[in-house]
Amino acid sequence: MIREPAPVLAPAPWLRESSGELRVTAVRTFLCAPQGCPYVIVRVETNEPGLYGLGCASDPQRTRAISSVVDDYLGPMLVGRDPADIEDVHRLLLNSGYWRGGSIANNALAGIDVALWDIKGKVAGLPLHSLLGGRAREYADAYTHVDGDDAGQITEDVLAAHERGYRHVRVQVSVPGTDTYGTAPADAVESERRRLRLGSWDTASYLRHVPAVLADVRERVGTGVELLHDAHERLTPSQARQLVRAVEDAGLYFLEDALAPEDAAHFAQLRTAGSVPLAVGELYSEVGQYLPLLEQRVIDFARIRIPTLGGITPTRKLVAACELFGVRTAPHGPGDVSPVGQAANVALDVSSPAFGVQEAARFTDSTVEVFPGSPVPVGGRFYPSNAPGLGVDFDETAARRYPVTAPLEHDRWALLRSTDGSAHRP
Ligand code: MG
């Protein structure tokens, strides 16, 4: 559902004096789902006619909670301020509640923060990557997804992606008897499982099956394409060590999320179990969660998610730290990150020496219609926009044709159940 525009808010009385003339006049949120999953888009408007910034605050499960934080709490604090003072505003909004952070508050903050960077670029007449230091590369390599249950079919799909220009492909393998990544159980089976509160996930089967398929695919595709795999935080630390050893033959570009955030202290042991590069971070909602991993030098790729980290302002500092500690970035960018968020990713990617690879979703025609200027990979590469700011616009009228009609199906994804009925964390 597209929210009715919020009323223009009066400036907060505790505003400090600013030297500039430009002022924020309104902060609005829009919910829409042209990609299928819900997006939360933030628009920060100014007293300069036609000058506004856009930010992505998308979290597909908690859209209304996030838009409420923007509409009812952060937005009113921003109205009347100079949008140029991004560091000051970010610090104010982050610390204003005393209890700071968390993914909902950070997503809301990120929507505003990215919009302020968009405004800064438009005022300067410069693309965002130029504000972040300029081009460190001409384009950002993207990776696409292949899911399946058969090594032969997966190989065909990987090679087809390679034909389209992708040099990096994430391969997810469905495990016989489970209902993840490419296999769905019959409706009757699923409904009976739900009635009995039983699931199909079995980590032992995953550990037996997936490494063998990945090694098979590697042998079939040869060495001309990079393969990535995401374990999706479903392993215990000892199971993660087994997986690291078991995937050696697949020659992965990286193994993602072998450990859940709660088990991050085990990365040091994972490091010594094998040579596969380790990626983690899409669930991290605080920059500080990365710091022990950087300092201990136990990961290789940071799966940064700009909305969840609170915007470009904190994320660019993390990216700089990654560069200093020899960790590459692999920003999160599936379909639940809007084109506005993806444009922010690409700006960071092309401006940082630490960049590794960018996750890409195939935006639907509807999404591109709602977001003119959507970043779309060409030949497996994202080329940065040279338009001022993010280079992406938002067509509010078109967005109304794609309302958010239902929440994302939580229980099939977040509440995966094991065969004994226990809830399994994603
Ligand atoms: Mg992941």
Q: How many domains does the chain have?
A: 1
- Does residue 23 lie within any of the structural domains? no
Residues spanned by the domain of 207: 131-386
| Ligand 1 centre distance from Cα of residue 381 (Å) | 21
Given a contact cutoff of 8 angstroms between Cβ atoms, the answer to whether 82 and 16 are in contact is: no
| Ligand 1 centre distance from Cα of residue 265 (Å) | 18
| Ligand 1 centre distance from Cα of residue 306 (Å) | 14
Cα separation, 159 vs 171, in Å, equals: 12
| Ligand 1 centre distance from Cα of residue 52 (Å) | 33
What is the structure's pLDDT at 60? 85
- Does residue 249 lie within any of the structural domains? yes
Confidence of residue 412 (pLDDT cuts 50, 70, 90): low
The active-site residue, picked from 39, 52, 166, 181, is 181
Given a contact cutoff of 8 angstroms between Cβ atoms, the answer to whether 422 and 197 are in contact is: no
| Ligand 1 centre distance from Cα of residue 303 (Å) | 8
Report residues near ion ligand 1: CB below 5 Å: 230, 256-257, 282
| Ligand 1 centre distance from Cα of residue 232 (Å) | 5
- Does residue 39 lie within any of the structural domains? no
Q: Is the pLDDT of residue 17 over 70?
A: no
Average pLDDT, the chain: 91
- Does residue 351 lie within any of the structural domains? yes
| Ligand 1 centre distance from Cα of residue 304 (Å) | 10
- Does residue 199 lie within any of the structural domains? yes
Given a contact cutoff of 8 angstroms between Cβ atoms, the answer to whether 193 and 199 are in contact is: yes
pLDDT for 288-305, tens place per residue? 999 999 999 999 999 999
Confidence of residue 4 (pLDDT cuts 50, 70, 90): low
- Does residue 286 lie within any of the structural domains? yes
Q: Is the pLDDT of residue 236 over 90?
A: yes
CA-CA-CA-CA torsion sign (147, 153, 156, 160):
negative
Q: Is the pLDDT of residue 216 over 80?
A: yes
What is the structure's pLDDT at 308? 97
- Does residue 273 lie within any of the structural domains? yes
| Ligand 1 centre distance from Cα of residue 257 (Å) | 6
Q: Is the pLDDT of residue 13 over 50?
A: no
The active-site residue, picked from 232, 266, 284, 332, is 232
What is the structure's pLDDT at 227? 98
What is the structure's pLDDT at 417? 80
| Ligand 1 centre distance from Cα of residue 202 (Å) | 18
pTM value is 0.92
What is the structure's pLDDT at 6? 52
Confidence of residue 18 (pLDDT cuts 50, 70, 90): very low
What is the structure's pLDDT at 418? 83
Given a contact cutoff of 8 angstroms between Cβ atoms, the answer to whether 335 and 327 are in contact is: no
Q: Is the pLDDT of residue 423 over 90?
A: no
In the residue annotation, 181 being an active-site residue is answered as yes
In the residue annotation, 232 being an active-site residue is answered as yes
What is the structure's pLDDT at 245? 98
| Ligand 1 centre distance from Cα of residue 282 (Å) | 6
- Does residue 82 lie within any of the structural domains? no
CATH number at residue 342: 3.20.20.120
